[in-house]
A = this chain, B = another copy of it.
């Protein structure tokens, strides 16, 4: 067996590819970035992380909008109902300032809230900064879509995504969204035993 070739470390084959890529919404809330005053580094950080972590083919549906509650609600509804995104992540607008209204907009369009996402993200961020308790981020379900608020700062985005990502694929299974698979670089998704598996690593 010493002559056996080493197992490939990179680019493993993750089962049969679905016909259509999974659609994932990335929504950046920022008055200034939406006016072109600076680059949307937060949205880029999310796209980069998901590209690194998802092995299931996916495509991004991107929106950069101001911190305006009706606009945020309209955008989230459009990404779920028309664009058929399975998962939508927002960044920005979760603090206590007057223009921070992302959690309120999210709650307004969701039929079901998932308080555990916000609790865990705040607990994780608290290890870095005591001001993590000022973040009001939440998550919820609309139709067959999961909406998750992330913070606005790129480093905090990565930290929070790392904490909640393992629960996202199973959540999508439960709400009837497409089956999502992760690369070895991702925080390992958890599916309880007995969960039907669509495709296993080769």
Contacts and interface: CB of A to CB of B under 8 A. Distances in A.
Contacts of A130: 166-167, 190
Interface residues of A, number: 39
A41 interface: no
A114 to B, nearest CB: 6
A167 B133 contact: yes
B96 A141 contact: yes
Given A114-B96, A129-B192, A174 B134 contact: yes
Given A96-B175, A174-B95, A120 B136 contact: no
Contacts of A126: 120
A55 B194 CA distance: 37
Given A96-B174, A174-B95, A112 B136 contact: yes
Contacts of A50: none
